[in-house]
Amino acid sequence: MTVAHLADGSSPPRVAFAVGRRVGPAVVRNRVRRRLRSVLAEEVATRGGLAPGPGAYLVSVRPAAADASFDELGAAVRGALARLAGS
């Protein structure tokens, strides 16, 4: 999983998801998107925002995301945000 951040201090965080056809059929891709949205909403609720701050985020997933559980996706997102905040 990859999370990219484009800093823009004037606007609230915006998130886009790149879930390609290699992840699976439309039903699977949409399920992955819904889970990612839920994970990020949970992160915002518990931490009060996304780690690096306001701006635009792009969350890109690999085909293995189709088989990942909600907890595994959550751990991957938290890890990617931590790496992003550290750089």
Placement of tokens 């088989």 in the chain: 67
Helix (H, G, I), strand (E, B), or coil: what is residue 58? strand
Geometric angle at alpha carbon 64, from 69 and 36, rounded to 5° = 50
Q: 2-86 in CATH: which number? A: 3.30.230.10
* Per-residue pLDDT at 5: 65
Return d(Cα 31, Cα 18) in angstroms, integer.
13
Return d(Cα 30, Cα 32) in angstroms, integer.
5
pLDDT tens over the chain, length 87 residues? 667 666 666 667 788 999 999 999 999 999 999 999 999 989 888 887 776 677 788 899 999 999 999 999 999 988 988 888 885
What are the domain boundaries of the chain? 2-86
pTM of the full structure: 0.82
Radius of gyration of the chain (CA): 13
